[in-house]
């Protein structure tokens, strides 16, 4: 993608001040995402304090609000139509949680083929999980999901890398499955020696 072809939008599933400020300075639309569950759920229930956007999100402002009930920000929302109406071809995802809403949004965007996907790894995060399938720390879950995302679905970068790309009007480059597999095999072989 050439420098003049990039038209970004920042999808804020939670908030990272630096990325919102840089987006506004560069004229990048900011989309705030708000998740709702039915009123019987213990979290994100309508008309509760917990479902409200964090004051930092509302104080920084946004250009469009997406209210969703599924993990992907695209399911049963107007996000795709909004982005296309703005000429967006690259979405940058930040917020929570890496392994749930962020990944679902990235995968759907990649599968539909309408948007390049950038995922800012240090502006997102996960929670620790334990269930009948096993246990993993928040760091393990975040790392595994970002490695997989970078292998085929999104360019996983840091905030500093993204700020540099925005400033230079360049696109982030994702990895690919074959290279990721070959590098993983080489790393595994080296650790067996």
Express each pLDDT in 25-35 by its tens digit: 778 888 888 87
CA distances from 1 to 50, 104, 114, 116, 157 (A): 40, 24, 13, 10, 17
Residues in the chain, how many? 193
Express each pLDDT in 132-159 by its tens digit: 999 999 999 999 999 999 999 999 999 9
Total-model pTM: 0.85
CATH architecture of 3-192: 3-Layer(aba) Sandwich (3.40)
The pair phi, psi for residue 69, each rounded to 5°, is -125, 0
More confident residue, 15 or 168: 168
Q: What integer pLDDT is reported at residue 43 of this predicted model?
A: 72
The residue-averaged pLDDT of 50-58 equals 74
Neighbours of 190 (CB within 10 A): 8
Domain boundaries, the chain: 3-192
Express each pLDDT in 71-116 by its tens digit: 999 999 999 999 999 999 999 999 888 999 999 999 999 999 999 9
Beta bridge pairs of residue 92: 10, 118
State how far the Cα of 91 lies from the Cα of 94, in Å rounded to an integer: 10
Q: What integer pLDDT is reported at residue 18 of this predicted model?
A: 46
Confidence of residue 19 (pLDDT cuts 50, 70, 90): low
Q: What is the DSSP string of 133-159?
A: TEEE-HHHHHHHHHHHHHHHT-EEE-H
Strands 134-136 and 129-131, sheet pairing: antiparallel
């Amino acid at each position: 993608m050439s420098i003049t072809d990039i038209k970004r939008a920042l999808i804020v599933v939670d908030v990272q001040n630096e990325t919102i400020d840089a987006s506004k300075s560069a004229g990048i639309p900011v989309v705030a995402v708000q998740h709702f569950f039915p009123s019987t759920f213990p979290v994100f229930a309508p008309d509760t304090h917990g479902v409200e956007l964090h004051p930092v999100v509302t104080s920084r402002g946004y250009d469009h609000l997406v209210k969703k009930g599924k993990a992907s920000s695209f399911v049963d929302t107007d996000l795709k139509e909004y982005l296309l109406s703005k000429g967006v071809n690259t979405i940058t995802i930040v917020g929570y949680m890496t392994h749930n809403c962020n990944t679902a949004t990235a995968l759907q965007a990649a599968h539909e083929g309408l948007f390049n996907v950038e995922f800012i790894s240090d502006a997102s995060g996960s929670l620790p999980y334990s269930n009948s399938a096993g246990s993993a720390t928040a760091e393990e879950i975040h790392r595994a999901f970002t490695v997989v995302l970078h292998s085929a679905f999104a360019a996983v970068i840091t905030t500093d890398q993204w700020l540099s790309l925005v400033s230079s009007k360049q696109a982030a480059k994702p990895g690919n499955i074959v290279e990721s597999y070959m590098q993983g095999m080489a790393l595994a072989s080296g650790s067996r020696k």
